[in-house]
Structure 1
Amino acid sequence: MRYSGAVLSVRGATKRFGGLVAVDALDFDVAEHQVMGLIGPNGSGKTTMMNLISGALQPTAGSIALKGARISNLPAQEITRRGVGRTFQLVRLLPSMSVLENVIAGAVFGHRHRWGREAEDHAHRMLERVGLEAMAFAPISALTYIDQKRLELARVLAGDPELLLLDEWLAGLNPTELETGIELIHDLRGEGRTIILVEHVMDAIRSLCDNCVVMSSGKKIAEGNPADVLADREVVRAYLGDEDA
């Protein structure tokens, strides 16, 4: 695939599970420093698409390229080393390690490898970045839910990813936590990071995203800026049904 100038290029991405087509010939690009929202009703294929990008799943057909180099069909650890970092719908931490050690793991095994004191110092900076430095030596069991999410984000950031995938990172937060979470992502956006955001919180989509791709039943049904996309009749129909479209 030729390098188009996009950080990520998805062409014809398809994933079948037996007779079920979870992602159906999806095409989109993500430009450098862009925050793209990947949205749609439950079961539309959003997380499957994130899994294809990160290597958790292999595509049945199509291709995915990072800065022009094909990454589809590479193992997940190789895709991470090439610069794709992600969070998960259900927070995945290393419970036997301290808060700091979790972030050091991200620094050691991420896109840019750091070791020893360099990795530790960088991990402290990432914890400070997400507001968790005071809990660096605490066990995972001491963390609240929002702090677990912050820790997972700090661990991903410690690997210096070129593309950050946030899969419903704001899900399950109370209103105060949600405001804090949106502010944190807004700050990451301000740093010029390239982000794909899977999210159901429309206030976050409106305030954070430059562009949106809307999925329904595995297909792309709309693409464009958040205001236009969320007013599209087909998008309203996908979310609310024919009577409300």
Structure 2
Amino acid sequence: MTAALRIDGCTVAFGGLRAIDDVSLDIPGGAITALIGPNGSGKSTFVNMVSGQIPPRQGKVLLGGEPVQGLRPDRIVHRGLARTYQVPRVPKDLTIDEVIAVPLLYARSERPMPGGARSAGDLARYCGLKPDVGTRCGQLSVSDLRRLEIARALACRPSVLLLDESMAGLSLEDTDQVIGLVREIHASGVTIVVIEHVMKIIARLCGHAVVLNQGKVLAEGAPHAVLSDPDVREAYLGKGFKL
């Protein structure tokens, strides 16, 4: 399977600490890939690196086979990569419609959006946002803020979507609904990378998994095989872990 996103010998260092340490890996196109690992393993730095917020000290980041390391984040978005954030970053005084409309206006891409969406309202409904699009973000629940983050990322018309703990803090019902949404987005042709700490979500949703530990790739492969790996259990899950 062709790599939608390829990391080739990348290192990100903060002083003497290598948060990403000579990492090479492929994110297969058309897949839902899990990126997992203990706190401090380098997951957030990885997402910041590939989205252009922290350039690698060395190595290449290739999106669709083209190098993007060193480009501004907006240029990487134009090339086809979008992301969400662990903590939703939306101005409280803006409305749902305004937050989604900004990337719709500036993404400058001809790639289609999932579900045939053409407007901010279409994307809001597609992502299951129940409040009116004129509702201000300061009035939204955690669940709706998570959905809004996904809708805003989809407004960038990505070919690769990074979901950084997009189900954190959700109820079981909301989690099931967002899992269904992620599957729909994937079915529309978007390659997805999911960062999650709940392994049952990973096992249900993902076909490929990468484990980071201390800035290095500890294991990768099918989720059940990776989650059964003794080194992964010792470093992250605990020896008594069961799905």
Same fold (TM over 0.5): yes
1:79 is matched with 76
Tell me the matched-pair count.
236
State the alpha-carbon separation in 1 of the partners of residues 142 and 192 from structure 2: 22
**Measured at CA, do residues 170 and 188 of structure 1 come closer, stay the same or move farther in structure 2, by a change above 3 Å?**
same
Counterpart of 1:171 (choices 168, 171, 174) is: 168
* Structure 1 unaligned residues grouped into runs of 5+: 115-119
1:56 is matched with 53
2:102 is matched with 105
User: What do the CA deviations read for 1:156-192 (whole angstroms, capped 9, x no partner)?
Assistant: 1011111100011111112222222222212222223
2:114 is matched with none
**Secondary structure at 2:217's aligned position in 1?**
strand
Counterpart of 1:139 (choices 136, 151, 154) is: 136
1:93 is matched with 90
Kindly report the root-mean-square deviation, in angstroms, between the aligned alpha carbons of the 2 structures: 2.0
State the alpha-carbon separation in 1 of the partners of residues 119 and 49 from structure 2: 29
**Measured at CA, do residues 43 and 128 of structure 1 come closer, stay the same or move farther in structure 2, by a change above 3 Å?**
same
**Measured at CA, do residues 197 and 240 of structure 1 come closer, stay the same or move farther in structure 2, by a change above 3 Å?**
closer
User: What do the CA deviations read for 1:51-102 (whole angstroms, capped 9, x no partner)?
Assistant: 0000111101111011111001111111111111000011011323211111
1:47 is matched with 44
State the alpha-carbon separation in 2 of the partners of residues 30 and 244 from structure 1: 29
The structural deviation recorded for 1:240 is: 4.2
User: What do the CA deviations read for 1:5-56 (whole angstroms, capped 9, x no partner)?
Assistant: 4211111111110010101111111222111111111110011001000011
State the alpha-carbon separation in 1 of the partners of residues 2 and 172 from structure 2: 38
The structural deviation recorded for 1:141 is: 1.8
Structure 1 residue ranges (4+ consecutive) displaced by more than 3 angstroms after TM superposition: none
**Secondary structure at 1:166's aligned position in 2?**
strand
**Could you tell which deviates more after superposition, 172-181 or 213-222?**
172-181
In structure 1, what residue type is equivalent to 2:36? Answer: I
State the alpha-carbon separation in 1 of the partners of residues 83 and 108 from structure 2: 12
The structural deviation recorded for 1:113 is: 7.2
State the alpha-carbon separation in 2 of the partners of residues 240 and 22 from structure 1: 20
Q: Where in structure 2 are the equivalents of 1:3-14 lying within 5 Å?
A: 5-14=2-11
Q: Where in structure 2 are the equivalents of 1:12-23 lying within 5 Å?
A: 12-23=9-20
2:219 is matched with 222
Please tell me whether the aligned partners of residues 85 and 159 of structure 1 are also in contact (alpha carbons under 8 angstroms).
Answer: yes
Q: Which has the higher helix share?
A: 1
**Secondary structure at 2:119's aligned position in 1?**
helix
User: What do the CA deviations read for 1:176-213 (whole angstroms, capped 9, x no partner)?
Assistant: 22222222212222223201111111111111111111
The structural deviation recorded for 1:111 is: 5.2
State the alpha-carbon separation in 1 of the partners of residues 191 and 43 from structure 2: 18
**Could you tell which deviates more after superposition, 226-235 or 30-39?**
30-39
In structure 1, what residue type is equivalent to 2:120? Answer: A
1:122 and 2:119 are equivalent in the alignment: yes
In structure 1, what residue type is equivalent to 2:77? Answer: T
In structure 2, what residue type is equivalent to 1:194? Answer: T
State the alpha-carbon separation in 2 of the partners of residues 122 and 112 from structure 1: 14
The structural deviation recorded for 1:237 is: 0.6
Q: What is the TM-score with the length of structure 1 in the denominator?
A: 0.90
Please tell me whether the aligned partners of residues 83 and 110 of structure 1 are also in contact (alpha carbons under 8 angstroms).
Answer: no
Please tell me whether the aligned partners of residues 84 and 111 of structure 1 are also in contact (alpha carbons under 8 angstroms).
Answer: no
